[in-house]
Amino acid sequence: MAGKLFPIKILIGLTLILLFPSAVLAQQVAVLLSDTEQAYLRPVSAFSNEIGAEVRIYNLQGDIHRDPQLMDRLLASRPGLIFALGAKAAYAAKLWTQQHQEIPVIFAMVFNWQKYNLINGQDNMAGIASEVAPGIQFLNLSMLVPTARRIGIIYSPEHSKEIVVQAREAAAMLNLELREHQISSPEEFKSAYRQLSGQVDSFWLLNDPFTYTVGNMDWMKDRCIKDRLVCVGQGSNLAEIGMMLSVLPDIDNIGTQAASMARNIMQRGQLPKDIRVMEPLGTRILLNQRTAERIGVPLSAQALGMATEVVE
Amino acid sequence: MKSLCRTHNEHQRVIRLLYLVLFLVLLRPVPCSASEPVDFYFYFPDSSQVNLSHLKREMDRFLSQAGLSARFQPFAHKIDFDNTLKSSRPALVFLPEWYYRCHGRELGLIPLLTPLRQGRPDYTKLLLVRKNAPWRLADFSGRTVAMTTMGSDSGETMNRPLFNGKKVDLLKNHIVNISKDADAFFAVALGHVDAALVGRDTLSTVGKLDTKLVEMLEPLIESNPIPMPLLCMVAGRLDPANIELVKKIFMAQNGGSPSPAIMEMLHIDGWQTLSN
């Protein structure tokens, strides 16, 4: 009996596919890449592995106008969601879905995403920020060095105003004290450091173009050791060159987090406008043990166990 | 003519037989001998020990002192573990019990031992929220929860052990997967998510480092017991002598003093054999 019904079931299935193609294809997901950047490979791989839906990859090859048919091909595949990596892909995904806001978009790996106006005016846009939140950096700092309660920040308002506002909020939440010093050129950095160093027991280094120069970092790593100050920042090379702590986003986890957000939207009905831009939740913690010893910070076995990598 | 055909057929038969023998030789399981190092993979995202190079160093030291020649390889991300486990079959694997339930059969995994924590073969997770969070269990639906990954849909896997009999459905929440427990902890402390599902072990480790951080949070509910991970062998990859050696090495830690660093690192205080 079951065998006799089998062809009928197939016929019904095919009829449904022909009548309601969008219902079947809705579970396809489009990944839109800005270019062939190697850094996108692992997040895309993690995303594809965890999403549980067919993934089609589209590549802007560095230029939104390079392939005029790309938008049509992507939209014709009727994706249930677009995962856009990089600023160009995020911008293109927003532009292309202006008239198709039923297609949710999750963007990631967009440095300084606020600059691109990605979420304003479109309810289908959500994303993951590219930098670790100041609060996560401070939590790691205070967990590994509980005595570091006064944190110095040198920044240019032109480049880092928003992130400093976030830092103030996080510091207030964690009962930490921020000592700020504004600069308007990279040359002012050393003088700012000298003025602040006597008032703080740690420094938080921003990805600010006036602060984060090769010359400034090279100079500061020696000064921090000499002045026995803990330095925390986002660049992976900071711990490698001799600063005590780097807290940076776990790039692999960006794909995993995006897949979770996509499932919440596609399967559990969460709206992108209710998510908006999440912090990158996965972190890599690099700890320079030699610097910790030189500046007199004792590290317990538990502290060393919490670090993803220890530079010895 | 007939005899020529017979000779030809006999030759063909011999060649087929030779092919069959060659095929069987190539396909036979290759057990690792006692002298060559065995591959040993480790993946346990709920561990509070995230420093994998320290873990590797201590495990290498522990195994070599115990007389087992092994190449120990810990993994931080599920995708790397998935891909490596499928492409290169190791001899030994330490993995979460849910992973064994999902993939054990297809990968030919045979559980040998399970570790014990405080004498028990299971552990619990806590659903943590910020102390001033306005939501309680009664209105917890729709909240965002960060937790370590448990496959493609964590909520479904975890719902049963966590909330069984407690009238709460994790499938009605928005799960965000992360690679390690500590990240979920930080995310809820800073309000990046509404709640975090973390191992009690992680809470105690973070508490030892930063009591103020732990004081910012409170548990809404404790999960039912979740089985501890499993130490499995892969079918056909370990010879009988090494199987016995592995069991002996780990079981010898029961009640021994002092515990090797690797056991303390993983918060394990004993091992239990598993009958298949």
Q: What would the pLDDT profile of A147-194 be if each residue is shown by its tens digit? A: 999 999 999 999 999 999 999 999 999 999 999 999 999 999 999 999
Q: Which residues of B touch A53 (CB under 8 A)?
A: none
Best CA proximity match to B89, nearest among B77, B103, B102: B103
Nearest-CB residue to B175 (from A170, A260, A300): A260
Full residue range of the structural domain in which residue B110 is found: 38-121+228-273
- CATH code assigned at A293: 3.40.50.2300
| Residue B129 sits in the same domain as residue B220 | yes
Q: Which residues of B touch A283 (CB under 8 A)?
A: 183, 186
Q: Is A144 left (phi over 0), alpha (psi -120 to 50) or beta?
A: alpha
B240, containing H or E segment? helix B240-251
In a domain, A71, yes or no: yes
Tens digits of residue pLDDT in B2-16: 444 444 556 666 666
In a domain, A72, yes or no: yes
| Residue A190 sits in the same domain as residue A294 | yes
| Residue B92 sits in the same domain as residue B213 | no
In a domain, B14, yes or no: no
| Residue B70 sits in the same domain as residue B203 | no
In a domain, B1, yes or no: no
Query: Between these two residues, B258 and A27, which has the higher pLDDT value?
Result: A27
Binned at pLDDT 50, 70 and 90, residue B35 comes out as low
| Residue A230 sits in the same domain as residue A192 | yes
Read off the tokens for B28. 């036979």
Judged by DSSP in three states, B248 sits in helix
Q: Which residues of B touch A279 (CB under 8 A)?
A: 187, 190, 192
| Residue A110 sits in the same domain as residue A154 | no
| Residue B265 sits in the same domain as residue B242 | yes
Q: Does B145 touch chain A (CB under 8 A)?
A: no
| Residue B110 sits in the same domain as residue B243 | yes
| Residue B267: closest C-alpha in chain A | A302
Judged by DSSP in three states, B60 sits in helix
In a domain, A197, yes or no: yes
pLDDT of A13 reads 45
Binned at pLDDT 50, 70 and 90, residue B138 comes out as confident
| Residue A123 sits in the same domain as residue A156 | no
Any idea which of A142-146, B46-50, B167-171 has the lowest mean pLDDT? Answer: B167-171
DSSP state string for chain A: -HHHHHHHHHHHHHHHHHH-HHHHHTT-EEEEESS--GGGHHHHHHHHHHH-S-EEEEE-TT-TTS-TTHHHHHHHT--SEEEEESHHHHHHHHHHTTT-TTS-EEEE--TTGGGGT-STT-TTEEEE-SS--HHHHHHHHHHH-TT--EEEEEE-HHHHHHHHHHHHHHHHHTT-EEEEEE-SSGGGHHHHHHHHHTT-SEEEE---TTT--HHHHHHHHHHHHHTT-EEEES-HHHHHHT-SEEEEE-HHHHHHHHHHHHHHHHTT---HHHH-EEPP--EEEEEEHHHHHHTT----HHHHHH-SEEE-
| Residue A186 sits in the same domain as residue A111 | no
pLDDT of A52 reads 86
Chain A contact probe: residue of B174, B188, B266 with most A CBs at under 10 A? B174
Q: Does B152 touch chain A (CB under 8 A)?
A: yes
Asked if B177's CB is within 8 angstroms of A260's CB, the reply is: yes
In a domain, A108, yes or no: yes
Nearest-CB residue to A50 (from B50, B152, B183): B152
| Residue A23 sits in the same domain as residue A142 | no
Nearest-CB residue to A305 (from B174, B179, B265): B265
In a domain, A10, yes or no: no
| CB B122 within 8 Å of CB B227 | yes
| Residue B48 sits in the same domain as residue B177 | no
CA geometry: angle A165, A202, A221, nearest 5 deg = 110
Full residue range of the structural domain in which residue A257 is found: 18-130+252-278
Instruction: Please give, rounded to a whole number of angstroms, the shortest distance from the CA of A233 to a CA of chain B.
Output: 17
| CB B242 within 8 Å of CB B32 | yes
Instruction: Please give, rounded to a whole number of angstroms, the shortest distance from the CA of B20 to a CA of chain A.
Output: 37
| Residue A109 sits in the same domain as residue A149 | no
| Residue B107 sits in the same domain as residue B137 | no
* Torsion sign over Cα B75, B77, B79, B80: negative
Tens digits of residue pLDDT in B207-249: 999 898 899 999 999 988 899 999 999 999 999 999 999 999 9
| Residue B53: closest C-alpha in chain A | A309
- CATH code assigned at B233: 3.40.190.10
In a domain, B55, yes or no: yes
Mean pLDDT of B141-147: 94
**pLDDT above 70 for A30:** yes
| Residue A242 sits in the same domain as residue A139 | yes
| Residue B218 sits in the same domain as residue B96 | no
**pLDDT above 80 for A207:** yes
pTM, rounded to two decimals: 0.86
Chain A contact probe: residue of B209, B217, B267 with most A CBs at under 10 A? B209
d(CA B86, CA B106): 10
Number of domains within chain A: 2
| Residue A49: closest C-alpha in chain B | B79
Tens digits of residue pLDDT in A64-109: 999 999 999 999 999 999 999 999 999 999 999 999 999 999 999 9
**pLDDT above 90 for B165:** no
Number of domains within chain B: 2
CA geometry: angle A70, A76, A78, nearest 5 deg = 120
Instruction: Please give, rounded to a whole number of angstroms, the shortest distance from the CA of B25 to a CA of chain A.
Output: 35
Pairing of strands B144-148, B174-178: parallel
Out of B224, B242, B261, pick the residue that ends a domain: B224
**pLDDT above 70 for B30:** no
In a domain, A271, yes or no: yes
Q: Which residues of B touch A175 (CB under 8 A)?
A: 212
Mean pLDDT of B121-125: 94
Mean pLDDT of A239-258: 94
| Residue B56 sits in the same domain as residue B92 | yes
| Residue B84 sits in the same domain as residue B105 | yes
| Residue B115 sits in the same domain as residue B244 | yes
In a domain, B27, yes or no: no
Asked if B184's CB is within 8 angstroms of A270's CB, the reply is: no
Interface of B with A in 215-254 (CB under 8 A): none
| Residue A156 sits in the same domain as residue A121 | no
Chain B contact probe: residue of A306, A311, A312 with most B CBs at under 10 A? A306
